[in-house]
A and B are shown apart, each in its own frame.
Chain A
């Protein structure tokens, strides 16, 4: 069946094709983030780029990281988008122009970083072969247990899983306390400011001396009414 069409198409590694598809989407959307001049569009392209990266993770069988990427990065951009919408609802901020000098500078930094990363990436031997899910993918359970300080995953060198290996309980706790501090700080900054009454009234109300003989607890209120 289809002797003409089949051999060239079948010779293609379709995993690589999907990889290239997601990678191209991620890269082109990332470039679009830089080139767009509307904040909301930038955020939208960023969402697409990050979602394509999540697709790459799923393609590689790293389901936990992929779902994390969707939850934290893509979901977190939502807040960015909301800020963008709130800021650009007025005309003067709708478009953001980057000056030519900034573009050149950013381009140089970006190119240098890319060069370093590419060199590092191509040095890893095992990435070149398509190492597909030859055995079932590991679940998220070892990660969760390790975050609680218990390592249950078997190490590669054959030592038993209950050998002395540290989990990630301490970093996990440090990060959670850090986030808690940030939350408390944010709540402190964003809280409704207490309304301060003018000082004269304040003083007048507070300097009323409670007179035990004549129903003292009604005096402050009464003073307020008189004013």
Chain B
């Protein structure tokens, strides 16, 4: 996302005439800016969400919560906490496995961070558009538990070990219904590309997959349950059940390492909420197709295009934030489940319901291919035929290769021609079978 913005900025200001960077530097800068933006979503988000969690918890328990630090609402409380954590002593138990103990928080954080790479914030605001985006995000999200298990093992403490073992059992079990829930939007969209899935829900809010049919409405709530369990939040927070296990897997951690676990937790909460928004709640499409109503569709000028993307990005962030707030509400409302109740919920309720709803969505698709309203008067065979042929006839990724940074040097350098071809400059991309979107083509031709 950032590279498009930078490209535009550089071109608008006219920087490209005098700012000529070598290829490697231009690419490094764009990569660093993109990664930095994603990192800020996690770190900045954690600051805000921790404050919100304290206020929400307080309100639900009829208290005030933080009121002093930073004025009336205590909105600087997280920052004060952060400074406190930075200043704390970094302790390690005597019998601990030093290397694993030190690495565990970073493993958790990396898994949470990596999943954001494939998460689109708006149509082309995405770190790396993958055609198996859903699959990638779910796979990487499941790796966060590695950090927890390593922490539990390396701490040399029985509380930590208990917490880690519970977490492992819970996450491995809940991956099954979670996967089944995630498959449903994939089936409806006919693609695992998160961008495509969200684009297919464009229009009024009735075209969101949540309202596609009764089965998807039910399976969305199964997804919410499984998502809460997979990010280890109450009522499924057995890994850190403070009434039984002191603090579970992070009993022995303090200071900055401890805060990394929390950043990972809040990052994952935001991630599963954003994933829910993309899969079921229309992604960056608002409830009312404002851009289409105002005539601000593709190709009406670059600035309008960016504004639409920016509003879409705000839409997605808003939906994801609402999801996180919902999780907080659940946390402070429901009591913690016992481990057998957690397993019962997964194996006896979530999995069968998800399987039945999956079959139901399939039946619905057979009965009304292409939606209830739109499918009238259109023979099923024609739709199926169209799907078999695929968009454009060739099953190629709809992700376009990225344009080269505008500031990059144009002169082909010896040894670098392989990269230049891969980056899809000029004719290489245009010559492929699939026609590129007009605005992308135009952007490519504009480049020096």
Contact of A70 among B140, B168, B422 (CB under 8 A): B140
The answer, yes or no, to whether B378 is at the interface (CB within 8 Å) is: no
Residues of B within 8 A of A31 (CB): none
Interface string of B381-411 (1 = CB under 8 A from A): 0000000101000111111110000000100
Q: Which listed segment binds A: B15-23, B68-76, B229-237, B305-313?
A: B15-23
By the criterion CB–CB under 8 Å, are A10 and B100 in contact?
Answer: no
By the criterion CB–CB under 8 Å, are B142 and A75 in contact?
Answer: yes
Residues of A within 8 A of B165 (CB): 82, 85-86
By the criterion CB–CB under 8 Å, are A139 and B395 in contact?
Answer: yes
Q: Which listed segment binds A: B49-57, B145-153, B317-325?
A: B145-153
CA distance A65 to B394 in the complex (A): 20
Contact of B132 among A11, A67, A81, A133 (CB under 8 A): A67
CA distance A79 to B414 in the complex (A): 48
Task: Using known A-B contacts A6-B22, A10-B413, A154-B394, determine if residue A78 contacts B145 with beta carbons closer than 8 Å.
Answer: yes
By the criterion CB–CB under 8 Å, are B24 and A63 in contact?
Answer: no
The A contact surface, by secondary structure, is helix
Residues of B within 8 A of A205 (CB): none
CA distance A47 to B422 in the complex (A): 30
By the criterion CB–CB under 8 Å, are B190 and A75 in contact?
Answer: no
By the criterion CB–CB under 8 Å, are B191 and A141 in contact?
Answer: yes
Least Cβ distance of B191 to chain A in Å? Answer: 7
Q: Which listed segment binds A: B209-217, B290-298, B331-339, B426-434?
A: B426-434
Residues of A within 8 A of B149 (CB): 78, 81-82, 85
Interface-central residue, B19, B99, B135, by most chain A CB under 10 Å: B135
CA distance A85 to B175 in the complex (A): 21
By the criterion CB–CB under 8 Å, are A132 and B418 in contact?
Answer: yes
Least Cβ distance of A150 to chain B in Å? Answer: 7
Interface string of B90-131 (1 = CB under 8 A from A): 000000010110010000000000000000000000000011
Interface-central residue, A7, A15, A85, A136, by most chain B CB under 10 Å: A136
Please provide the chain B residues from 11 to 49 with a CB less than 8 Å away from any CB of chain A in the complex.
19-24, 27
Number of A-B contacts (CB under 8 A): 157
Interface string of A66-82 (1 = CB under 8 A from B): 11101100110011011
By the criterion CB–CB under 8 Å, are B143 and A74 in contact?
Answer: yes
By the criterion CB–CB under 8 Å, are A139 and B23 in contact?
Answer: no
CA distance A79 to B168 in the complex (A): 8
By the criterion CB–CB under 8 Å, are A63 and B130 in contact?
Answer: yes
By the criterion CB–CB under 8 Å, are B135 and A10 in contact?
Answer: no
The answer, yes or no, to whether A214 is at the interface (CB within 8 Å) is: no
Residues of B within 8 A of A129 (CB): 418
Please provide the chain A residues from 40 to 76 with a CB less than 8 Å away from any CB of chain B in the complex.
40-41, 44, 47, 63-64, 66-68, 70-71, 74-75
Contact of A44 among B22, B100, B396 (CB under 8 A): B100
By the criterion CB–CB under 8 Å, are A136 and B396 in contact?
Answer: yes
The answer, yes or no, to whether A222 is at the interface (CB within 8 Å) is: no
Contact of B390 among A70, A75, A78, A152 (CB under 8 A): A152
Contact of B27 among A14, A47, A81, A141 (CB under 8 A): A14
By the criterion CB–CB under 8 Å, are A136 and B432 in contact?
Answer: yes
By the criterion CB–CB under 8 Å, are B21 and A81 in contact?
Answer: no
Residues of A within 8 A of B190 (CB): 141
Binding site for B on A (CB under 8 A): 1-2, 6-7, 9-15, 38, 40-41, 44, 47, 63-64, 66-68, 70-71, 74-75, 78-79, 81-82, 85-86, 89, 129-130, 132-142, 150, 152-154
A-B residue pairs, 8 tightest by C-beta: A132-B422, A71-B139, A130-B418, A70-B139, A135-B432, A6-B22, A139-B131, A136-B396
